[in-house]
Structure 1
């Protein structure tokens, strides 16, 4: 499951054989995830990446540019991980369980809503648009799989966009009350049962 966790967002820790820009981006991603947008400066990124501050600014004119690129790439990796899980022949319910476990493990110790909220008040409309486009693609991957399940008559017709949003929101809600469950696996299993029963009673 460690591999799924990496595929669902966090980059590999090794920076070997990466370009300077990719190294900067990878280091920045870890720092933003670890401490949040407000507490990380371009100086912090330069020091951790072992490059000059000028080098960081050569690749990214502003901290907002760096943050946006980091989060967009993060969402692209998450989308890739989702698509990989959904590319198997396993039942949709099993795939949802794998997605739920991988997602919660990948965001362990993170308040995702706070992480985004701390940055968004200072981002430009252009940056916001880039983030929304990447986020939409991530949810679209889930929507597409729900539609496939509908087409196969595994579940009744439903609003696929709403269903995707609800599933991820339910996982996040459960994560915020994780102590109420026996384990992360139990949290995901109960969330999926609740979600699946809701889908089953759409008609």
Structure 2
């Protein structure tokens, strides 16, 4: 019997031990973060990945689909790093310091608000919902850690969900100044320390 030909554009399953889809997703994520949504095309992604455009379209029907999966998977990885940091025996304050430092190091050249605003107008409601769910899961990991610290008496009782949102919000504010921290702070640690002081004093002050 003759073998049926593969569908046009169907890629090899693996390249150097990684699936073609994973390679496309990893490279596309970096491109979106570096250039922003509007300036990245499917052609650009294909060229950077050294595959045909048909291969990219085999996995993702539209650029919006690719962007959505890239951001969802990125938030899943961030959540896992958050969980890993929160799983140590250190105090919550120390854990949050490490999370804040890692966040600022990873997003030093990215204006998160502008970056997401550029893309949202091109996404469907279902795509936005997928991203919202991934974002909520990130908040959930922080919320659980804050609630645990409250139950242990490490910090006063308050709304742990609000505490998680406040922490992420203050990190977003830090994004606006961290690229120039050398001019106003002695080091990245100094910047993170001052950010944490603003957050922690408000969270843990019982007066």
1:132 lines up with 2:132 in the alignment: yes
Q: Which moved more, 1:157-166 or 1:72-81?
A: 157-166
- Which consecutive unaligned segments of at least 5 residues does structure 1 have? 1-14
Let me know the Cα RMSD of the aligned residues: 1.3
Corresponding residue of 1:23? 23
Name the CA distance, whole Å, in 1 between partners of 2:123 and 2:17. Answer: 31
Q: CA deviation at 1:192?
A: 1.1
**Aligned counterpart, 1:117:** 117
Superimposed CA distance per residue, residues 46-103 of structure 1 (whole angstroms, 9 cap, x where no aligned partner)? 0111111011101000000000000000000000000000011111111011011001
Q: Distance in 2 between matches of 1:81 and 1:89?
A: 15
Q: Deviations over 1:3-42 (max 9, x none)?
A: xxxxxxxxxxxx8421111111111111101101000000
Shift of 1:181: 2.2
Partners of 2:24 and 2:81 lie apart in 1 by 23
Structure 2 unmatched runs, 5+: 1-14
Segment drifting more, 162-171 vs 87-96: 162-171
Q: Mean alpha-carbon deviation: is it higher for 18-27 or for 123-132? A: 18-27
Cα shift readout 1:137-163 (whole Å, capped 9, x = no counterpart): 011111110001001000011111111
Contact 1:83 1:141 in 2 (8 A): yes
* 1:46–1:53 contact (8 Å) kept in structure 2: yes
Other-structure match for 2:65: 65
Question: Is contact 1:157-1:202 (8 Å) kept?
Answer: no
Question: In structure 2, what is the equivalent of residue 33 of structure 1?
Answer: 33
1:187 aligns with 2:160: no
Instruction: Show structure 1 runs of 4+ deviating over 4 A.
Output: none
Which position in structure 1 is the counterpart of 2:99?
99
Q: Residues of 1 paired with 2:48 and 2:189: CA distance? A: 35
Q: What is the distance in 1 between the residues matched to 2:198 and 2:140? A: 22
Distance in 1 of aligned mates of 2:108 and 2:202: 27
Larger-Rg structure: 2
Shift of 1:170: 1.2
Q: What is the deviation of 1:202?
A: 4.9
